[in-house]
Amino acid sequence: MEKELLLMLPGPVPMPERVRYAMIRQAINHRSPEFGAVYADCVRVLKTAFGTTNDLFVISGSGTAGMEAAVANFGRDREIACLVNGKFGERLFKISQRYGKAHEIGSDWGTPLNLAALEERLEQGAEVVTLVHNETSAGIKNPAQEVGRIAKKHDALFLMDGITSIGGDVVEADTWGADVAIVGSQKCLAAPPGLAGISVSSRAWERLCKNPPFYLDLAAYKKSAAGKSMETPYTPAVPLFFALREACLIVEEEGMANRIARHRKMAQAMRAAAKTWGLSLFPKIDAQHEYSNTVTAFSYPEGVKDDEMRAIIKKMGIVIAGGQDHLKGKIFRIGSMGAVSAPEILATLAATQNALKKLGYKVQGDGVQAACEVLG
């Protein structure tokens, strides 16, 4: 029997058996009350996870489809201020370049955002702001509430990527003024990849662009969801909706407060291990920015090679992530999101500690024991 690898990535993540089995049932008519009930369950739970009472839809497409839907429906032909301090902020900027006049407000990956430059750009007429709340490429959590405050002050729309925070960390889309917020199914929700949830405020609807995309036309999603039985405008990925519904019911059973507390504790255990090993965390945080609670980014110590370390860990049946783009070989990242808890965290840290030792790094202390003290 082939051994399953434990995915300790910033998505995709391990899926509970209930979620996996939900996908193997026979197909149903996606224009039926039965599908409408599945869709309605997803939306009900997702609204709680988003912290919103706004309209919310599920698109058959990855988180990037959600990003593009947000920009294409509300940023086309507009000036867009794009906050960037990692790969996914950069992705939102690249999408924005396709649809509007995009201005990158960049910082080095994993460093605080330049909010003063955002204010300046808004004063010069930018109408839309994009932000990645939880930047997994660098392990940093950005101050969405403050960005929302600045956007509202200048009467700009606020488009927030919550792809890797919604369902695992505090997200209050309405309180923060996020006119559009996005989640990906394969992150904190622990569902399979291929679906994106997107919420839209009444303020955003008032500013809907005149020439929306066809497949990602959010007005079409709104119209289809408003009937007697909820539908999507085009054929949805029905098995993925079955799985997402099951994942959402698990979220509901656990309760968001408990789920957030679990994610925080796992991330704290990771940080305790790093400190005990004598490793530096990659992000540079300040009073407004925090370490991510869903992925931890560690800087490699001198002499430890990325491919060698991750290969040793993979031999133990566990997959962790390296750095992306210019951070390849400089950092490694361990996800702590979704349906994982103490056993998976401790196994991953034990495998990481073993790999560090094998590659000649002298750990200062027992990181696994330090994590146990946090998790216990």
Convert the pLDDT of each residue in 305-364 to its tens digit.
999 999 999 999 999 999 999 999 999 999 999 999 999 999 999 999 999 999 999 999
Could you tell me which residue, 149 or 1, shows the higher pLDDT? 149
Residue 11 in this model has a pLDDT that exceeds 70:
yes
Question: Left, alpha or beta for 12 (phi > 0: left; psi -120 to 50: alpha)?
Answer: beta
Q: Are 56 and 43 in contact (CB under 8 A)?
A: yes
Q: What does the pLDDT look like over 161-191, one tens digit per residue?
A: 999 999 999 999 999 999 999 999 999 999 9
* Distance of alpha carbon 239 from alpha carbon 168, whole angstroms: 23
Residue 132's DSSP bridge partners are 161
Per the structure block, which two tokens stand in for 314? Answer: 């993979």
- Where along the chain do its domains lie? 6-11+255-375, 17-254
Helix (H, G, I), strand (E, B), or coil: what is residue 202?
helix
Q: What is the pLDDT of residues 13-70, one digit of tens each?
A: 999 999 999 999 999 999 999 999 999 999 999 999 999 999 999 999 999 999 999 9
Q: What is the CATH number of domain 17-254?
A: 3.40.640.10
**Could you report the per-residue pLDDT of 96-107, keeping only the tens digit for each?**
999 999 999 999
Considering the four listed CATH numbers 3.90.550.10, 3.40.190.150, 3.90.1150.10, 3.40.50.360, the one that applies to the domain covering 6-11+255-375 is 3.90.1150.10
Position 227 scores a pLDDT of: 86
What is the rounded distance in angstroms from the CA atom of residue 171 to the CA atom of residue 260? Answer: 10
User: Using CA atoms, how far apart are residues 92 and 165, in angstroms rounded to an integer?
Assistant: 16
Indicate the helix (H) or strand (E) that contains 135: strand 134-135
pLDDT of 2 strictly over 80: no
**1 pLDDT exceeds 70?**
no
pLDDT at position 3, please? Answer: 82
* Average confidence (pLDDT) over 80-96: 98
Angle formed by the axes of helices 115-123 and 144-153, nearest 10°: 20
What's the one-letter identity of residue 339?
A
Cα 147 from Cα 13, distance rounded (Å): 29
The mean of the pLDDT values for the chain is: 97
Instruction: State how far the Cα of 363 lies from the Cα of 356, in Å rounded to an integer.
Output: 7
What's this model's pTM, rounded to 2 decimal places?
0.96
Residues 210-231: pLDDT tens digits? Answer: 999 999 999 999 999 998 899 9
Buried b (16+ CB within 10 A) or exposed e, 138-154: bbbbbbbebbbebbbeb
Contact present, 276 and 364 (Cβ < 8 Å): yes
CB 195 within 8 A of CB 185: yes
Residue 221 and residue 42: Cα distance in Å, rounded? 15
- In the chain the first and final C-alpha atoms are separated, in Å, by 33
